[in-house]
């Protein structure tokens, strides 16, 4: 029908058809709209449906308004571009979507965080709490701790990007999502904290007993003999204490290999001090002369470290359910729909150029 129209029409009609073809080639929405209005008067059967689609795209772009959020304007632009892949729609996508492009990275981080396998759970930390430290499944613990730390890092990065780029302001539909992510982050942090609190509390109970026993045994020896002779007399007791504490040392040393508290300098330093504290109690070879008189000071250090770990931990946060990616997507469909559309349009969002 279109070919017949061109063959049978006047020069002005042929010009309108050429303008139509040129507008489609150049993806110029407004020129195409003008050309289709003319062609539709000549051949409604061939052009009415296309004209209606183009009218919808034009009408959508007219809705763009500075009073709307960037996300609202972007979604309008996206829909207009789906109707007709025009340069005007792409320009609008770039203009409004570029303010939201960090959501593409955030979506990747959320997916990474919530698809990390075998993460810590409340049930697992409760199992650890019920077990003697020498019965802890260290292989499983290391794996779960590693994956939970990875998830924690990804969620922290996502939330930092959201704050830095004002995304709850530019995309209000993401605000509730970020509240959910903060709760999930807090839960993961507290599960990690719980492991450390339980491990170091169990170790503290053990090493306090050794400190008390070894202090009681060394005190009369230091009163009666010179430090070297007193230390020699204590050697069998120190060796036995080291053997008894070895399972606890294995767990605490193992936990210190995970760089989880590097962002918390006080706690990070306190855990480093713990290793020195263990040596001061079980292997006091450099300063044995002061061993008995420093006993209470060592206990104070133990209590300080446990208090720091407890301050970091918020028991109430463990009441929040751990959510899978699918759960969060169902809770916040608008936010994920926005992020998926941005991902689809990323070739435009990340670049102000288009073909």
Q: What residues contact residue 166 under an 8 Å CB cut-off, 6+ apart?
A: none
- Pick the last residue of a domain from 100, 126, 160: 100
The number of residues making up the chain comes to 355
Ramachandran bin of 87, using left for φ above 0, alpha for ψ from -120 to 50, beta for the remaining angles: alpha
Answer yes or no: is 353 within a domain: no
* pLDDT < 70 regions, the chain: 1-10, 12, 263, 313-320, 348-355
Q: What pLDDT was estimated at residue 287?
A: 83
Answer yes or no: is 67 within a domain: yes
- Pick the last residue of a domain from 52, 82, 100: 100
Statement to judge: residues 118 and 240 lie in one domain: yes
Answer yes or no: is 344 within a domain: no
Statement to judge: residues 92 and 134 lie in one domain: no
Answer yes or no: is 333 within a domain: no
Quote the domain boundaries for residue 108: 104-323
Provide the strand spans (E) within the chain: none
SS3 state at 264: coil
Statement to judge: residues 139 and 257 lie in one domain: yes
Statement to judge: residues 29 and 147 lie in one domain: no
**Any alpha helices (H) in the chain, and if so which ranges?**
2-8, 11-26, 29-42, 44-62, 70-83, 87-97, 102-115, 122-130, 138-164, 167-170, 175-224, 227-256, 265-282, 295-312, 325-331, 333-344, 346-349
d(CA 162, CA 102): 8
Ramachandran bin of 27, using left for φ above 0, alpha for ψ from -120 to 50, beta for the remaining angles: left
Answer yes or no: is 284 within a domain: yes
Tokens of 173: 């539909």
Statement to judge: residues 93 and 125 lie in one domain: no
SS3 state at 284: coil
d(CA 198, CA 191): 11
pLDDT digits (tens, 9 = 90+) for 1-24: 454 455 455 676 788 899 999 999
pTM given for the model = 0.84
Statement to judge: residues 179 and 311 lie in one domain: yes
Count of beta carbons in the 10 Å neighbourhood of residue 25: 9
Statement to judge: residues 222 and 236 lie in one domain: yes
Statement to judge: residues 233 and 92 lie in one domain: no
Contact yes or no for 119/188 (Cβ under 8 A): yes
Answer yes or no: is 178 within a domain: yes
Q: What pLDDT was estimated at residue 355?
A: 43
Task: Give the DSSP H/E element, type plus range, for residue 67.
Answer: none
Answer yes or no: is 291 within a domain: yes
- Pick the last residue of a domain from 100, 135, 165: 100
How large is the greatest C-alpha to C-alpha distance in the chain, in angstroms?
124
Q: What pLDDT was estimated at residue 183?
A: 93
Statement to judge: residues 16 and 114 lie in one domain: no
Statement to judge: residues 210 and 125 lie in one domain: yes
Answer yes or no: is 329 within a domain: no
Contact yes or no for 185/155 (Cβ under 8 A): yes
Domain count, the chain: 2
SS3 state at 179: helix
d(CA 300, CA 308): 12
Helices and strands (H and E) in the chain: how many: 17, 0
Count of beta carbons in the 10 Å neighbourhood of residue 252: 21
Statement to judge: residues 179 and 314 lie in one domain: yes
Contact yes or no for 170/70 (Cβ under 8 A): yes
Statement to judge: residues 111 and 90 lie in one domain: no
Q: What pLDDT was estimated at residue 318?
A: 56
Count of beta carbons in the 10 Å neighbourhood of residue 321: 9
């Amino acid at each position: 029908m279109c070919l017949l129209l061109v063959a049978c029409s006047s020069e002005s009609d042929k010009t309108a058809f050429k303008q139509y073809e040129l507008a489609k080639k150049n993806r110029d929405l407004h020129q195409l709209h003008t050309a289709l209005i003319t062609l539709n008067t000549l051949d409604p059967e061939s052009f009415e449906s296309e004209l209606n689609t183009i009218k919808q795209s034009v009408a959508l772009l007219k809705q763009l308004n500075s009073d709307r959020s960037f996300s609202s304007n972007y979604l309008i632009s996206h829909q207009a571009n789906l109707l007709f892949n025009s340069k005007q729609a792409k320009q609008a996508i770039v203009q409004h979507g570029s303010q939201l492009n960090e959501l593409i990275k955030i979506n990747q981080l959320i997916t990474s965080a919530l698809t990390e396998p075998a993460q810590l759970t409340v049930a697992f930390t409760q199992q650890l709490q019920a077990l003697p430290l020498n019965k802890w499944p260290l292989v499983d613990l290391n794996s779960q701790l590693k994956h939970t730390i990875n998830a924690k890092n990804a969620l922290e990065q996502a939330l930092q990007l959201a704050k830095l780029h004002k995304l709850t302001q530019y995309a209000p539909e993401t605000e509730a999502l970020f509240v959910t992510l903060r709760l999930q982050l807090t839960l993961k942090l507290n599960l990690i904290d719980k492991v450390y609190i339980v491990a170091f509390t169990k170790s503290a109970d053990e090493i306090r007993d050794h400190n008390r026993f070894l202090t009681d045994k060394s005190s009369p020896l230091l009163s009666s003999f010179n430090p070297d002779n007193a230390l020699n007399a204590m050697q069998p007791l120190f060796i036995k204490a080291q053997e008894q504490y070895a399972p606890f040392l294995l767990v605490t040393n193992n936990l210190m290999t995970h760089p989880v508290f590097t962002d918390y300098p006080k706690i990070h330093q306190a855990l480093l001090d713990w290793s020195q504290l263990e040596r001061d109690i079980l292997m006091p070879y450099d300063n044995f002369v002061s061993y008995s008189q420093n006993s209470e000071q060592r206990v104070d250090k133990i209590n300080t470290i446990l208090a720091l770990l407890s301050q970091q931990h918020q028991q109430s946060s463990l009441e929040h359910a751990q959510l899978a990616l699918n759960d969060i997507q169902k809770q916040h469909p608008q936010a994920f729909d926005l992020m998926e559309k941005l991902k689809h349009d990323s070739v435009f969002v990340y670049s102000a150029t288009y073909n």
